[in-house]
Structure formats: structure tokens, C-alpha cells
């Protein structure tokens, strides 16, 4: 999809037809307005399709980058276009879950198409019983384990995983990332 001049694109609203009757047979006026129609046809086409530009699943790829900036998503042009579209479409939902295990797992799945196991709670514990002893000191580290799901071959970029986890975790939470390279070992072996 292009928003530039498209050869042969007809205008849906020709200016020559909207001129007063005096100019209907004036060839100079009709040729002049036809030239303007050629310039304005892509503008009218864009305006007629404006709702599609704001839908990440339909927007042109170059416009998708702009939409991603609107919703606070880092767009990576190396990723497949459909994954980029899905990330922009679900950005608000991901922002809602930011700082939670669910949000972290979904962000990693959308960005890298991996399965994630998250162990620990990042140092947060509580008691719902009034007047009791304080709960034991929690494990302050979050373990993020990236597990291959067997459907997507290739290596997982550990630096990209660290970048996503750092962006999605609260700043006070320490974390460790493990990228599992093979199937899990069976217990008792």
C-alpha cells in the first residue's frame, strides 16, 4: 500500500465535474483540474481508508512503526511482520500486565515466540492473617527459564531476553535468565 502518487489512480471526486457549468466544455480548465485530480487521488484514497491505518493488523508496514511508537512498543523490523502486528495490537493489554509473571511470559512469547517458566516472586510475601508472625524472608531473585517448544528451530538471543525481562520487571527485582538448550532431563536418570 502506498500513499504516494499512483499512476492511473482515478479520483473518486473529480474537480472538473464540480466546476460551474461555464467550465464544463473548457478543455484548459478540464485538463488543469485533471492534473490536480492526479495529485489529490492518493490523498483521497488515504483518507477514505483511514480506519485501516489505525488497525495494526491492516496498517501498511511503514505505518506500523509509527503505531508502535504511539503505544510504547519497540518495533524490531527483523521480526516477521505478523508478529510485529500482533505485538502492537496487544500492547495495551501487555502494559496492563506489566510487572507480573503473566505480563513477562506474554511479552517474551510475543517477542521471541518461546515458552517461559518463571520461578519466584521477586521478593514479595504477605500474610492474610492478622497478628501472626511475619512470613519468612522471600527469595529476592526471579528465575526466568526459556524453554524450547520444539516448533520453532533456532537459537534464542539471551541478550534480547535480558532486555525484555529488564523492561517488564519492576526495577527493584533481581532476576536470572536460563535458556534451556535441550529437552529437560528425566528425573531419576
Q: According to the model, what pLDDT value does residue 4 have?
A: 62
Q: According to the model, what pLDDT value does residue 152 have?
A: 58
What share of the chain has pLDDT > 70, as a percent?
Answer: 87
Which pLDDT band, with edges at 50, 70 and 90, does 186 fall under? Answer: low
What is the pTM assigned to this prediction? 0.65
Return mean pLDDT, the chain.
84
Q: According to the model, what pLDDT value does residue 27 have?
A: 92
Q: From CA 142, how far away is CA 176, in angstroms rounded?
A: 6
Q: From CA 162, how far away is CA 63, in angstroms rounded?
A: 28
**Number of alpha carbons in the 13 Å side-chain half-sphere of residue 164:** 28
CA–CA distance from 38 to each of 12, 19, 23, 26 (Å)?
11, 17, 19, 19
Q: According to the model, what pLDDT value does residue 57 have?
A: 93
Q: According to the model, what pLDDT value does residue 82 have?
A: 92
Which pLDDT band, with edges at 50, 70 and 90, does 78 fall under? Answer: confident
Q: In this structure, are residues 124 and 100 in contact, taking their beta carbons and an 8 Å threshold?
A: no
Amino acid at each position: 500500500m502506498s500513499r504516494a502518487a499512483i499512476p492511473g489512480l482515478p479520483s473518486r471526486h473529480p474537480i472538473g465535474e464540480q466546476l460551474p457549468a461555464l467550465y464544463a466544455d473548457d478543455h484548459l480548465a478540464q485538463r488543469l483540474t485533471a492534473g490536480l485530480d492526479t495529485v489529490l487521488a492518493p490523498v483521497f484514497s488515504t483518507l477514505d481508508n483511514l480506519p485501516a491505518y489505525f488497525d495494526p493488523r491492516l496498517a501498511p508496514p511503514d505505518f506500523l512503526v509509527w503505531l508502535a511508537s504511539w503505544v510504547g512498543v519497540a518495533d524490531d523490523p527483523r521480526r516477521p511482520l505478523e508478529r510485529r502486528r500482533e505485538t502492537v495490537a496487544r500492547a495495551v493489554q501487555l502494559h496492563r500486565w506489566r510487572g507480573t509473571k503473566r505480563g513477562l511470559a506474554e511479552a517474551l512469547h510475543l517477542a521471541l515466540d518461546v515458552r517461559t517458566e518463571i520461578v519466584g516472586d521477586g521478593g514479595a510475601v504477605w500474610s492474610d492473617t492478622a497478628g501472626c508472625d511475619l512470613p519468612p524472608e522471600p527469595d529476592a531473585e526471579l528465575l526466568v527459564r526459556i524453554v524450547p517448544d520444539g516448533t520453532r528451530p533456532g537459537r534464542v538471543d539471551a541478550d534480547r531476553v535480558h532486555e525484555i525481562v529488564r523492561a517488564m520487571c519492576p526495577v527493584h527485582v533481581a532476576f536470572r535468565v536460563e535458556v534451556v538448550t535441550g529437552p529437560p532431563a528425566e528425573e531419576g536418570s
